[in-house]
Amino acid sequence: MAETEASATHRLAAVRAEIAAHNRRYYEEDAPVISDREYDRLYRELLDLEARFPKLVTPDSPSRRVGGKAAKAFSPVTHRTPMLSLDNTYSEEEVGAFYRRIEKLLPNEKVPVVIEPKVDGVAISLLYENGRLRHAATRGDGTVGEDVTQNIRTIRSVPERLKGDVPSLLEVRGEVFMTKAGFAKLNAERAEAGLPVFANPRNSAAGSLKQLDPVITAQRPLGVIFYATGAVKGVELTHHSKLFALLKKLGLPCSETWWEADSLAGILKAIHELEQVRHGFVYETDGAVVKVDDFAQRESLGTTAKSPRWAMAFKYEADRVETKLLDILIQVGRTGVLTPVAALVPVFVSGSTVARATLHNQEEIERKDLRIGDTVVLEKAGEVIPAIVSARADLRDGSEKKFRMPANCPVCGSEVVKDEGQVAVRCVNAQCPAQLKRRIEHYASRGAMDIEGLGEAMVEQLVTRNLVHDVSGIYRLTSEDLLGLERMGEKSVAKLIDAIERSKAQPLWRLLFGIGILHVGVSAARALADHFANLNEMMAASPEELQRIPDVGEVVGTSIAQFFAEPSNRSMIEKLRAAGLRLTSEPKAPVAGNSQIKGTTWVITGTLSRPREEIVEEIVRQGGKVSGSVSKKTSYVLAGEEAGSKLEKARKLGLKIISEENFRELIAR
């Protein structure tokens, strides 16, 4: 027994630490890295271990806590009544056990329940006093949340003042969500602007709600739905089924779809009916919530430290469908990386038809044992990018074919290589048409040379018609060339010619980033432009000199030297010079003596309200430096929405982390 308890102690510590890390990512950073199902499996393991070894239960266990702590960027708000979280299950048998348990706790009583959609959003609590909104707060740790009142006020469906006969005090609970249509539109706009897309509507809603600038929140397609109350004065509530009418009367948006049941058969019937209609809602749903209707019965049933005994969430399995893997195609990116993509028999899943799914690399295909001709299981589960989960090996008839990455590029026929220690397979032909298209798109992107009008469709035509052979060819385009292209009238042509002309004045660091040297990002491009007076000096530098430059290092320095050693790249640079582009570094502007940014080093992470390059320009203008990696030498970490590993490392190092609003204040001072 001692050995078993010792091993349980060790495993409990590991599970608690893992759950705590996932709680932080989900509740505080709004950037989960595992699915709900994986998290629920971990949490169930924790509960099982604690049930078997009650002596090992600790007060700080995740089983005794709700959510995460309030973020320091927002003022704390103490809820009038705790915001507990629900126990959940994927099993209909456990729903039955839940209902039998409450029947046993309430002997000789009929126990009616209400079944309603489980909205996949961010829990919120609003406090109205005499009908006027006083504050809004996130769940936080269940007792103390974050004050997001100004952001909630930007959601049009949230009333500033309640209608009609208002209670003297009403704490109303609900969920902030991003509409599915709005989410798709937002991601399309972000992709067009060269910004990272959001993973799912829930993360997008959480990030939007926690913006420090309400103007940004107001621009996001957010909605809210209310389904519960906390503290209430001035109105008598006896049954949950009566709450919806009250909320509607007060002008608060609430669910129009819900069921009543007084038996297990009725509950399961409602759960099945909800599953059939849930994809028609404007918001994402991931389950059904079963709640005891009578508030007096709820009082008798009580709560645990974390959850009410009178409610449970049944979560639907992630939407999975089966389809046929017709082929595995290869896409070639701007750096020559070959990415396998599954071509599927089109299938409808989670509200849209899917015909393609990325497979990332050969290793993933082998790990999942996918073969051309397989029947495969496809999952979407609210994610932006569909994924193949597995193959139905039991349905194989022997005609299926194993996939191997090609030895030659499927576009240009050149030999492909795989660097030691890397999973990526790369086409080494710099003139490969597929690479050329992606390189020109990158060169013209907002973060690089910012040539408006030179998007994917235009680049496709330019390369297909042999009008450009590298990025320097952009500057040899004439009005006559462009007028011969699809959807290009005189006005469109004039605008594009003007945008190309204006790009010639872009600073050297943008050109360095735009020409697409492998491993050279914005930070390295700026460091190079700061170090060398002009591009000639940079091209003549030895690999050792390049490697000594801060933010460059060995890998990037070697890549730069190899790039400029290539005759075709040197020829391209000469053509850019002849076209009149700026190949010299800008003289550094004098820095104000009282600047609080002078001499500091910054790392920027996450999504911000304006283009990152504008913020970098502001820091550099005031004498600061922007780095691509976090270290002990970092003075400030500017963290935006959905910041990831850099923010986590900054916290571990105890660095100063500031929001975009704090940054604006610092600049103003």
**Other CB atoms closer than 10 Å to residue 509's CB: what's the count?**
25
SS3 letters for 561-597? HHHHHCHHHHHHHHHHHHCCCCCECCCCCCCCCCCCC
Phi, psi at 213, each rounded to 5°: -110, 110
Distance (Å, rounded) from C-alpha 99 to C-alpha 101?
5
Distance (Å, rounded) from C-alpha 68 to C-alpha 39?
15
Given a contact cutoff of 8 angstroms between Cβ atoms, the answer to whether 498 and 452 are in contact is no
**E strand intervals along 333-482:** 337-349, 352-358, 371-372, 375-379, 387-391, 401-402, 416-418, 425-427
Chain centre distance of CA 285: 18
Token digits for 614?
């504008």
Amino acid occupying residue 166: V
Alpha-carbon torsion 448, 454, 458, 462, what sign? negative
CA atoms within 13 A on the CB side of 552: 24
- Say which of 118, 315, 437, 625 is annotated catalytic: 118
Distances (CA, A) of 626 to 196, 513, 525: 20, 15, 11
Distance (Å, rounded) from C-alpha 499 to C-alpha 519?
27
Amino acid occupying residue 183: F
Distances (CA, A) of 325 to 386, 388, 431: 14, 10, 32
**Other CB atoms closer than 10 Å to residue 626's CB: what's the count?**
23
Taking every pair of Cα atoms in the chain, the longest distance, rounded to a whole number of angstroms, is: 92
Name the 3-class secondary structure at 668: helix
Distance (Å, rounded) from C-alpha 23 to C-alpha 66?
9
Distance (Å, rounded) from C-alpha 469 to C-alpha 425?
23
Distance (Å, rounded) from C-alpha 559 to C-alpha 430?
14
- Contacts of 173 by beta carbon, 8 Å cutoff, 6+ apart: 83, 123, 124, 125, 126, 226, 227, 228, 229, 230
Distance (Å, rounded) from C-alpha 230 to C-alpha 404?
59
185 in active site: no
Would you please indicate which residues are annotated as catalytic (active-site) residues? 118
